Amino acid sequence: MTRAEICVVACAEAWRGDGAILAGFAGLIPQLGARLAQRTFAPELLVTDGEATLLRNGEPEGWLPYRAVFAMVAAGTRHAMMGASQLDRFGNQNISCVGEWERPRSQLLCVRGAPGNTVNHPVSYWIPRHSPRVFVDRVDMVSGVGHDRNAYEIRRVVTDLAVLDFATPDRSMRLRSVHPGVRVDDVVEATGFPLTIPRDVPRTREPTDAERALIREQLDPAGRREREIR
Amino acid sequence: MDKLVGIEDPVAEVRDGMTLGIGGWGSRRKPMALVRALVRAGRRDLTLVSYGGPDVGILVAAGCVRRVVTGFVSLDSIPLEPHFRRARSAGTIQLTEYDEGMLYWGLLAAANRLPFLPIRAGLGSDVMRVNPGLRTIRSPYADGAELVAMPAIHLDVAFIHLNRADAQGNGRYLGPDPYFDDLFCLAAKRRFLTCERLETDLFSSGPPQTLLVNRSMVDGVTETPNGAHFTSCAPDHGRDETFQREYANTDWETFRARYLDGGESDYQQAVKR
């Protein structure tokens, strides 16, 4: 069992209980998570091939061009797991640029669909390298809105070290579990703002034998997942 | 009723300072032959409205652009567009940054001759901060909801590329996604369509629901085989990933001299090797 496999399962868990909604994802590990969830405990989940085809257990089952994705965003029948260059304790996210917006030190993606996603439907985040550069006090450009700016729901943040959520009275970030082999202090050190830490922090669950077999033999036989975590 | 034009004709209608909409999405089915023609024509001070890809990057690098109106600029398999990034950090272009859905809504408003359309996207985000002209509107009904009043995005000219067309300006896409090419045409005063292949009996050669634009939406048609290169134009051709990497990793002057200083046929010859 590898750290990447723990992360795939932790991403899949974000969609548990969602029913027949569209799983959006950016990045390989969330994609594997969505496909794993669909094949195991969330069979109703809708998953695309990254373009306009809906896939069920790897086979095409429907059509979803971008204009229909925007309709599902507006209808709220979607839960997307996005990336984040910066994330603050209320879940405000930045993928647009680093530095002053007027003349950024580093221009990134622009806001993409983050503003619309975060006010319309649940959003989670995948962070392949948990560090104080990502988990910042204040993001440079609010692309995805957080709970202090009326986000619909920021559900989970899955990183290479831990799973975080917002189950606190003021809906700020809380440590939900640490991955096997990671200490709570490792997470605290890698986070640039104070986290709520429960007295007993559980360990992130390990993949079942069936899940591990699905990941290794069907979803990602080439092991590309191992390169997403450095 | 024949609307066939040469590749340089649509570009002649784009004057310095105009607002130009470009169809496709990221590095997918972009009207790249028309983009190359614009570079040759040396237009200046354009406002580009685009789900941005190498169309934006090339026109920015060539010095044709004053402002980009977009939700992203990406090469898909290469997430960040190098020329757009550089120009943003150098402060040589202006940006109107919207959520992707807001861009769609702005084109839809223009297509419907509405001054704005209400949308949730943008609320609470810094899109409102960096677009101080954006206004919200309150629902007149019992819910009283506050929404963004996304203004119509009017275009002077639109360029799109489709798989098939006829000489009258009817056009068909064959790939997995129409993107928003019909809306770009409906939002524009002058509309130009390039296609992989012209057909005489377009209606009979495929399912009617793939006929994305009709002749009331198009002012000129040009056959440009491989005209979306190096972006994808499924199923006619995929993205030329090798060439896209070369584009992203080559300094602009070298790339331009190697590929863009000649005409479209020189380009197609050069990329065939």
What's the pLDDT tens digit per position in B40-49?
999 999 999 9
With CB atoms and an 8 Å threshold, state whether B179 touches A112: no
Is the per-residue pLDDT at B179 higher than 80? yes
Sign of CA dihedral A95, B245, B237, B163: positive
pLDDT tens, A134-143? 999 999 999 9
d(CA A136, CA A42) in angstroms, rounded, equals 33
Q: Tell whether the model's pLDDT for residue A190 goes beyond 70.
A: yes
Nearest by CB to A116, from B84, B120, B177: name it. Answer: B120
- Asked if residue B51 and residue B36 are part of one domain, the reply reads yes
Banded model confidence at residue B242, pLDDT cuts 50, 70, 90 = very high
Contact, A24 vs A81, CB < 8 A?
Answer: yes
- Residue B210: DSSP 8-state: G
Q: Which two tokens stand for residue B215?
A: 């002749």
**Would B89 be classed as within a structural domain?**
yes
Determine, for residues B88 and A104 on separate chains, whether the beta-carbon distance falls below 8 Å.
yes
Q: What is the arithmetic mean of pLDDT over A52-62?
A: 96
Would the ipTM clear 0.85, i.e. be above it?
yes
DSSP E strands in A2-159: the ranges are: 22-25, 46-48, 53-56, 59-63, 78-82, 86-87, 93-94, 97-98, 106-107, 122-127, 153-159
Query: Are A121 and A81 a contacting pair, CB within 8 Å?
Result: no
Which chain A positions have a beta carbon within 8 Å of B100's beta carbon? 70, 112-113, 116
Pair B164, B121 in one domain: no
Q: Smallest CA–CA separation between B81 and chain A, in Å?
A: 9
Residue A230 has pLDDT above 80, yes or no: no
B93 and B57 belong to one structural domain: yes
Q: Residue B3 belongs to what H/E stretch?
A: none
Same domain, B136 and B177: no
Reduce the DSSP state of residue B73 to 3 states and report it: strand
pLDDT > 90? residue B117: yes
Encode pLDDT of B249-270 as tens digits: 999 999 999 999 999 999 999 9
Q: A179 and A161 in contact (C-beta within 8 Å)? A: yes
The residue among B56, B75, B92, B99 with the most chain A CBs within 10 A of its CB, best to mutate, is B99
- Output the CA–CA distances (angstroms, integers) from residue A143 to A87, A95, A131, A132, B65, in the order listed: 10, 6, 19, 19, 24
- List, edge to edge, every strand of the sheet that includes A78-82: A59-63, A53-56, A46-48, A22-25, A78-82, A122-127, A153-159, A162-165, A174-178
Nearest CA of chain A to the CA of B9: how many Å? 31
Arithmetic mean of pLDDT, A217-230: 94
Q: How many domains does chain B have?
A: 2
Same domain, B129 and B195: no
The rounded percent of chain B whose pLDDT value lies above 70 is 100
- Residue B168: CATH number of its domain: 3.40.1080.10
Q: B1 lies in a domain?
A: no
- Shortest Cα distance, chain B CAs vs residue A92, angstroms: 9
Indicate whether B50 and B140 sit together in one domain: no
Share of chain A above pLDDT 90, in %: 98
Element (H, E) at B194: strand B188-198
Domain made up of A3-228: CATH architecture: 3-Layer(aba) Sandwich (3.40)
- Domain co-membership, B92 together with B183: yes
Asked if the structure places residue B19 within a domain, the reply is yes
Mean pLDDT of B59-72: 98
pLDDT greater than 80 at residue A197: yes
Pairing of strands A59-63, A53-56: antiparallel
Cα distances (Å, whole numbers) of residue B221 to B183, B190, B227: 17, 12, 13
- Same domain? B120 vs B190: no
Per-residue model confidence as pLDDT tens digits over A73-119: 999 999 999 999 999 999 999 999 999 999 999 999 999 999 999 99
Determine phi and psi for B136, rounding to 5 degrees. -105, 165
Give which of A128, A140, A130 is closest to A189, Cα–Cα.
A130
Q: Does A141 touch chain B (CB under 8 A)?
A: yes
For residue B166, the enclosing domain spans 8-98+154-260
- Residues B121 and B160 occupy one common structural domain: no
Q: Answer yes or no: do B123 and B45 share one domain.
A: no
Mean pLDDT computed over B131-141: 98
Specify if B45 maps to a domain: yes
**What is the average pLDDT across A47-74?**
97
User: Which residue's entry shows tokens 């034009």?
Assistant: B5
Q: What is the DSSP letter of A13?
A: H
For residue B260, give the DSSP letter.
I
Task: Show the tokens assigned to B163.
Answer: 């798989």
> Cα-atom radius of gyration of chain A, to the nearest Å?
17
A96 exposure class (CB count in 10 Å sphere: 0-12, 13-18, 19+): buried
Q: Is the pLDDT of residue A54 over 90?
A: yes
The answer to whether residue B31 is domain-embedded is yes
B65, B140: one domain: no
Asked if A52 and B84 come within 8 Å (Cβ–Cβ), the reply is: no
Element of type H or E holding B12: helix B8-12
CB contact under 8 A, A116 and B100: yes
Q: Are residues B23 and B58 in the same domain?
A: yes
Rounded to an integer, what distance in angstroms lies between the CA atom of residue B82 and that of residue B54?
9
Where does the pLDDT of residue B273 fall: very low under 50, low under 70, confident under 90, or very high at 90 and above?
A: low
Residue A229 has pLDDT above 90, yes or no: no
B267 located within any domain: no
Residue of B nearest to A108 (CA): B80
Summarised one tens digit per residue, pLDDT across range B214-224 is 999 999 999 99
Across A191-201, average pLDDT = 98
User: What's the confidence (pLDDT) of residue B1?
Assistant: 80
